[in-house]
Amino acid sequence: MKNKIIIFCILIFFILGASLYSFHFLKTDRTYGDENIHSWQIQQFRSGDFKLHPNLTTLPGYHYLMYSFIRIPKVASIHNMRILTFAFGILALLFFYLCAKIISPGDADIKTLQFFFLPILFQYFFLIYTDVVSLLFVLIALFFVLKKHNIISFVFIFASILIRQTNIIWLLFIFVAIFLREYQNNNLPQPLLRKEGNDKKFPPLANVLPLTKGELEGVDTQCPGRLGGVFTHCKKNILFIAGIMAFGAFIFLNKGFALGDKEMHPWFSFHMGNIYIALIAFFFLFLPLNIYNFKKIVLFIKKKPLVLGFLFILFLVYIFTSTYMHHYNEERYVFYIKNVLLVFLNKHIIIRLLFFIPIAYSILSLCVTKLHEKWQYLLYPASILLLLPSSLIEHRYYIIPFSLFILFKKNQPKWIEYSQIAIFIIASLGIMYGLSQEKFFF
């Protein structure tokens, strides 16, 4: 009991200390990145004007939510909006912890610290961006799935789409995850089998074979099988089907995913850039885990040498698809530090080709990193579907995939996990310092 109290106090100390440090540097009303768009939109709603900003790409769910809390005079300052976003972030932290307690009770504290200090997420706890509130709704939806309250889960995951349209991917993820958890693993009806010793005329081997037509006489045959299980799942979770159809109607009527700035966010196009950069980011952010996985990777290649053939084919694809030419990733926007890397890679083809090494290593490391349950491996195809349509390289798109990876992965030796936390803390506080000094925006 004393150990749990000590760990909890350490957790609170790090979170509170880092939060005070960050707010100390962000007392100004100067906006960073897209904060000007989001704060403008909230202020417009507060003034009674519900016109949307022409460059607002998301549905205005976040802005309505913020507006509902800042109607009080003198509350709608930039600083107070940041505090309100941080309050939602604390709720996200709480629901992440609750999910971790269900998935991996003994490691919930470590996972929660890694989540809070995840460098691509940390600064957005303190900025007027949609990402933290979007993440909160996804985590609440996941929590209720784990508790088997699927209708409540749908309400929150559908509401998350009103904050960021790309959360349709996580609606699909949860819909399929419910099926895999409740049917494929546990409740999917199985073919009727002969019971061992049920009849002496059956030889022992026959006891595990399906019953014949004649043997089924008088037996209840209401067993829909695997396909029937899918239909039953769809019927029980019809709200998810309705949500998918409603989103399809929105895409058709809106002629794309983005609400504004459509020229910079074309729909129905596929780009590998975000997948490559996400894998590079994974290599460096999770470096202790990746180093620890080296021996496992060697054994994995020995056991399945065909994976090298797959990586060679991927390298050929990478050669022709690894340019990062979106307008917002150009050299004029180098205040965004990710663009410094992208511009450098575009100018130096040899360096760009060498960066395939961390990409390939990350793929292999993910292959040997075990998650707690089989349905959680849906995270990987869901992440690909999330990143594939966007030509804009944006690390914020990786926040939910990386957060869920931290939640789902089985914990490694303590030195790995504590090293991970140390790297995250140093990187996150460094990012906040660079932002506060207006040296760069991450």
> Using an 8 Å Cβ cutoff, are 53 and 40 in contact?
yes
The most distant pair of C-alpha atoms in the chain lies apart, rounded to whole Å, by: 86
Tokens of 267: 């729909």
pLDDT tens per residue across span 349-402: 899 999 999 999 999 999 999 999 999 999 999 999 999 999 899 999 999 999
Residue predicted with more confidence, 81 or 95: 95
Domain ranges of the chain: 131-190+225-265, 269-411
Three-state SS across 356-396?
Answer: HHHHHHHHHHHHHCCECCHHHHHHHHHHHHHHCCCCCCCHH
pLDDT tops 50 at residue 210: no
Among 98-102, 165-169, 211-215, which stretch is predicted with the lowest mean pLDDT? 211-215
In 3D space, the residue among 212, 169, 221 whose CA is nearest the CA of residue 381 turns out to be 169
What's the rounded mean pLDDT across residues 4-11? 67
Alpha helices in 263-413 (DSSP H): 273-285, 287-292, 294-303, 306-321, 337-347, 349-354, 356-368, 379-387, 399-408
pTM of the model: 0.88
pLDDT tops 70 at residue 199: no
Q: Residue 72: its pLDDT value, please?
A: 67
Distance CA 394, CA 278 (A): 9
Q: Which residues pair with 441 in a beta bridge?
A: 336
Residues near 273 by beta carbon (within 8 Å), at least 6 away in sequence = 321, 322, 323, 324, 326, 391, 393
Range 151-165 burial, b when 16+ CB lie within 10 A, else e: eebbbbbbbbbbbbb
What's the rounded mean pLDDT across residues 64-74? 81
